[in-house]
Amino acid sequence: MKEECTECKGQGSKEVATEKCPECKGSGKAKSVNLMDLSKKDMSSFLEGASVCERCGGSGTVKITDPCPVCKGAGAFYKCDICGKPIDKPIDGKEVCKSCGSVELVHQLDDSCDLNELETGKLYHVTVNNTAPFGVFVDINSNMRGLIHSSNLQGTLEEGEHVIVRLNEIRSDGKLDLVPRSISEYQTVDVEKCLPVRLSSELSDLSGRLVKIEGEVIQVKQTSGPTIFTISDDAGIMSCAAFEGAGVRCHPDIDMNMIVNVIGEVAFRGEVVQIEVKSMKRLVGAKETAVKERIDAVIDKRAEATDIEFLVKSPILEKLRPAMKNVAKQIKKAIMLSTPILLRHHADADGMTAAVAIEKAILPLIEKVNGPDAEYYYYKRSPSKAPFYELMDVTRDVSFALEDAARHGQKLPLVIMVDNGSTDEDTPAMRQAQVYGINMVVVDHHHPDDVVDQYLLGHVNPAHVGGDFGITAGMLSTEVARMINPDVTDEIKHLPAIAAVGDRSESPEAHDYIELVSDRYSLDRLKDIALALDFQAYWLKFNSGRKIVDEILDLGDHKRHHQLVDLLCEQANGMIDDQLDACIPNVKSQDLPNGAVLNVLDVENHAHKFTFPPPGKTSGEVHDRMCHKFEGKPVVTIGYGPDFAVIRSKNVLMNIPQMVRELHDEIKGAGVNGGGHLVVGSIKFVEGMRTEVLTKLVEKVGSVQVE
């Protein structure tokens, strides 16, 4: 094989020194000329720069070169087909070095080869297929069969036996005349059909043609018929079908993440292009590295996030742009590599709008890459009841992912977490996912802990750039979704406004997002949509309820959207009123040393259980009533049960994550944990220490500053 010399980069020479230009004596200028002797054309050339020395180009020095010692000045050299050493020229027509040339060469043809790759006089590996009275039929590969005539046999050959033969003749009818050879020492030369490497993007125009591709195996799926290999190259992905027998695993040595070359015939299965595999080989060494680096470089470039203009003006969003672009890129890259996507989100209005924004952006891309039924195999959305990634969540996710990998030959998924994933409470689940090599990205606005970043490919959180929870996950995820797929902007631009009212954000960005869609949705309508989401999320439990959620978010039939939201709000408000009728008479209020009004409610004994609104929502509704009752004053509301407390506040400058850490350290045996936002959150503890924890919590609330 002739290759460009890597030593001299094809130049044929190497620079060994420099010396003063002998033409201009180092001045860089041309010798003096008689201007009177110059023509008009020469004069123009001279004035435009011809006064520079032509020999050295004006540098004053010239290079001294010697012929390249590797290619002997040729700029290229032949490589031995066997050992890979450079050789001057083919020996007796064989591209082998002298040492290898002294050994007999036996050729092993892969299944892509036909009569064009055969040469009379050469030796070949064959396998005995069957015997006949006049000789033995042998397979050179799966496509070609030849005959060893009985007159050339000196013994018996058994079916399946491997034999070395010499090709005596290729007859006009294509039949092969073979003679067995007994060789003690030889070198095997692998032979495949010489074809240019094609890209997946070119295949649709090559129907019926034999092609060669190179790429990375990203999925292996065994069907009841062929084995389907999904291969990614630097232009996209392609499906390759290999068949030996119904349900038989072809090329068992080839698995996911391997770099391979494939030769096969381009065919169409419906509207989908497929390569019918004739040969498939794993690439190793320098070739593997080169193909891998080429694919990675192209995919990395294609996965770059779109540089969008945000829907609203925000210094915090601008500071977050690099982190948002990184998360968008990681998601796009996973889609391009046919990595399944698992979208995890908190089961409330903010979490659901955040998840749906990402969902609307990625589903068209997943379908484009993996085909019309790709959503079934490559995407799943799951709500989390808690505002963090629980062990129950990760156990379900890993279990389903491993089953899908075994059933469909898929990679393990990329987990996208929105409206959760930023706190230390997430780390136990993240550590389990890490054991299986599951990658994760997070878009969240809960107060972050640095410990989680070691488990993440990307992390978007406004607190990292001086912001706070006022920029909600729904706002952040909508902008990330637009970076992934700008085409969905008009479809999802109202989602941040719903997230803002659902999470009661009072940030400038929340006001601007609400104003952005004010021509379509009034503030009251946005609140109704958010309430309908919270109400439906309670009954959906662990179900994504995708179609219902789309209707609530006005992403389907507009008339049905109005009917559904009106009905859900009517039912939700009725149940909230019933709950508050039972709760409000049992709320106990007191003034704290810092001037705040504290309201406490035992939701275990003075609220309806196992129905909407749940304890967190109940505490929030009670807090709203108390804020109205004590208008103008700082207010804190604590709804508590046997082993938990939910905290809501207004105009009280708390840091709930810090309080949780302090309570954990100060009250031994209470097992305090929890968190949330700075002024809204929840705490868990052991039931037997409830009095001590709540007493200490009230002391801390009464000691912080108020507005």
List b or e across 130-153, with b for residues whose CB sees 16 or more CB atoms inside 10 angstroms.
Answer: ebeeebbbbebbeebbbbbeeebe
**273, two tokens:** 């292009």
Give 28's pLDDT tier (boundaries 50, 70, 90).
confident
- Joined together, the tokens standing for residue 354 give 């955040």
- What digits encode the pLDDT tens for the residues 429-456? 999 999 999 999 999 999 899 999 999 9
Instruction: Give the mean model confidence (pLDDT) for residues 607-622.
Output: 92
Q: And the tokens for 495? A: 């989602």
Measured CA to CA, the distance from residue 498 to residue 531 in angstroms comes to 10
pLDDT in the model for residue 490 = 96
Residue 3 pLDDT class (50, 70, 90 cuts): low
- Is 27 a residue whose pLDDT tops 80? no
Q: 613 preceded by cis ω (within 30°)?
A: yes
Q: Do domains 103-191 and 201-302 have the same CATH topology?
A: yes
Mean pLDDT of the chain: 88
Q: What is the mean pLDDT of residues 156-163?
A: 88
Is it true that domain 103-191 has CATH number 2.40.50.140? yes
Torsion of CA 371, 374, 378, 384, to 10 degrees: 140
Domain 587-703 of CATH type 3.10.310.40? yes
206-255 residue pLDDT tens = 999 999 999 999 888 888 999 999 998 988 888 999 998 888 999 999 99
Location of structure tokens 């591209």: 95
pLDDT digits (tens, 9 = 90+) for 522-572: 999 999 999 999 999 999 988 888 999 999 999 999 999 999 999 999 999
CATH homologous superfamily for the domain 201-302: Nucleic acid-binding proteins (2.40.50.140)
| Residue 695 confidence (pLDDT) above 90 | yes
CATH number attached to the domain at 315-522: 3.90.1640.30
In one letter, which amino acid is 523? L
pLDDT of residue 85: 65
Q: Band the pLDDT of 93: cuts 50, 70, 90.
A: low
Domain parsing of the chain, residue ranges: 103-191, 201-302, 315-522, 587-703
Q: Which of 40-54, 136-150, 597-611 has the lowest mean pLDDT?
A: 40-54
- Break the chain down into helix, strand, coil percent, rounded to 5: 40, 25, 35
- Decide if pLDDT at 51 tops 70: no
**According to the model, what pLDDT value does residue 42 have?**
54
34 pLDDT band, cuts 50/70/90, is low
Give the predicted TM-score (pTM) of the model.
Answer: 0.74
